[in-house]
Amino acid sequence: MPCLQFAQGGQDKVPQTCCNGIHNLADSATTVDDKTAACKCLATAFQKFPTIKDEDLQKIPGLCNVTVPFPLSKNLKCDK
């Protein structure tokens, strides 16, 4: 949720609470099963907010200086 306004184009800067959450997610998803579960969770959440903009969503990991195990997108494909 802390990332939502940025992902919808409503903020110029990613909130630190968003970055903290992305870092925690990346640190805790260490196995393939963990990464798949995280992906499915995010995919479900993203579908609940149709106003999310892919171009803003995809910027978040880079702006937070974190590598996530899959590219963020409104249309996540968690089976790959």
Query: Residue 1: which pLDDT band, with cuts at 50, 70 and 90?
Result: confident
Give the global pTM. Answer: 0.85
For every residue of the chain, which 3-state class applies, written as one string?
CCCHHHHCCCCCCCCHHHHHHHHHHHHHCCCHHHHHHHHHHHHHHHHCCCCCCHHHHCCHHHHCCCCCCCCCCCCCCCCC
Query: Model confidence at 69, in pLDDT bands (50, 70, 90)?
Result: confident
- pLDDT at position 56 is 94
